[in-house]
Amino acid sequence: EAEKLRANAALVADLARVQAQEWDARLALRTQWAQWTIASGRVQVVAATVQAVVQIRGIVERMESSGEVPRVEARLFRIEQAVAQAELARLGATIAEHEVAIKRILGVAPWAALKFIPSEMPPAETRPMAELRDEMVTCSPLVASLAASYEVSEKALAAEIRKQFPDLEIGPTYNTDGNEDFTFGVAMPLPLWNHNQQGVATAHARRELMRVRFETTIELQLGELENANIVYQRARGQRLAMEADITPLADEQAAEIREIARLGEVNTLLLLESLTRQQEARLTLITAREDEWMASIRVAGFVGPPRISP
């Protein structure tokens, strides 16, 4: 019975390790998907900048032909367009790399024809730290795996302690002394000397090792969770500030400058500066969203998947 209990505990521990590996795979998929979505958003921003530069470049080149704009200033738009197109090419390669990584995690061939649709960043959560700690202790696959391993060591120690006591052996024996016949008897081996002291001591040491490993890992995980939540809250605050202040101002400035250019009053340097600032503001906002998204995935990695109620 003790060996059966140890074997059942070992099965539970193996299943817990598989669950932890599955959770790691899900986190890797989330990370790659978030990075692919963010790269797709950057492509949209840079492509919009290229389109705006092309439109304004036509106006500037006509003004250059009439002598209203120096060739040096007009050339700046061609340079800006070339730089933006090169950035588009780089982002395209980045997107392709993330797509291959996503397919690899999903177990799909890299050349498989799949269409990925960018998703929105998950809604921000502001959960109390105490709630996150409690959920980590109960939901973390890593904690569950260590707890199951500790249970295995407990059952192994119980089995070694049980070996200190004799088991009755009941069964037939074959007698060849004189007449050959079968007899049925009862035997009880007696451990008179060491009472399995070595086995018990080894199992006890392993149990203590698993206990210390379990307690130390929980302490380290709680500390890492605290730090990850701080990073997440800071990234969330930066993203909210960008959305509320900087990005709208940059968009408003660029819109007003383009309207002035459309009416024929073109300040090429100011126009180019406004376009550049608008792109930088939008890309900075995307970077803030990326930081927040990555931080939220890291927090979720420590906490673990939500329990599914039966």
DSSP, residue by residue, 143-194: HHHHHHHHHHHHHHHHHHHHTTS---EEEEEEE-SSS-EEEEEEE-----SS
Note whether 80 and 53 are within 8 A (CB).
yes
Strand partners, 172: 184
Band the pLDDT of 23: cuts 50, 70, 90.
very high
Condensed to tens digits (0 to 9), the pLDDT of residues 156-195 reads: 877 777 777 766 566 565 555 555 555 555 555 555 455 6
Distance, in Å, from the CA atom of 284 to the CA atom of 265, rounded to the nearest integer, reads 30
Distance CA 255, CA 78 (A): 21
C-beta of residue 298 within 8 angstroms of C-beta of residue 232: yes
Model pLDDT, residue 104:
92
Do the Cβ atoms of 238 and 291 come closer than 8 Å?
yes
Dig out the tokens for 89 from the structure.
Answer: 């090419």
SS3 40: helix
**Which pLDDT value is given to residue 100?**
92
Question: 184 - beta bridge partners?
Answer: 172
Lowest mean pLDDT among 10-19, 34-43, 68-77, 146-155: 68-77
| pLDDT tops 90 at residue 32 | yes
Question: In this model, does residue 28 exceed pLDDT 90?
Answer: yes
Band of pLDDT at residue 227, cut at 50, 70 and 90: very high
CA neighbor of 52 nearest in space, from 264, 281, 261, 245: 261
Q: For residues 148-153, give the mean pLDDT.
A: 85
Burial of 199 (0-12, 13-18, 19+ CB in 10 A): middle
Q: Record the pTM.
A: 0.74
Report the pLDDT averaged over residues 29-51: 90
Q: What percent of the chain has pLDDT over 90?
A: 17
> Computed from CA positions of residues 137, 139, 142, 143, in that sequence, does the dihedral angle turn out positive or negative?
positive
Query: Could you tell me how far CA 310 lies from the centroid of its own chain?
Result: 26
Identify the helix (H) or strand (E) that includes residue 216: helix 197-241
Number of H helices, E strands in the chain: 7, 2
- How far CA 239 is from CA of 109, 116, 236, 279, in Å, comes to 36, 25, 5, 16
Taking only the tens place, the pLDDT of each residue in 76-124 is: 778 888 888 898 999 999 999 999 999 999 998 888 888 888 777 777 6
Q: Is the pLDDT of residue 27 over 90?
A: yes
Highest mean pLDDT among 32-36, 122-126, 140-144: 32-36
The span from the CA of 151 to the CA of 259, in Å, is 71
pLDDT-derived band of residue 25, with 50, 70 and 90 as boundaries? very high
From the list 40, 82, 32, 30, the residue with the least C-alpha distance to 57 is 82
Q: How confident is the model at residue 48 (pLDDT cuts 50, 70, 90)?
A: confident
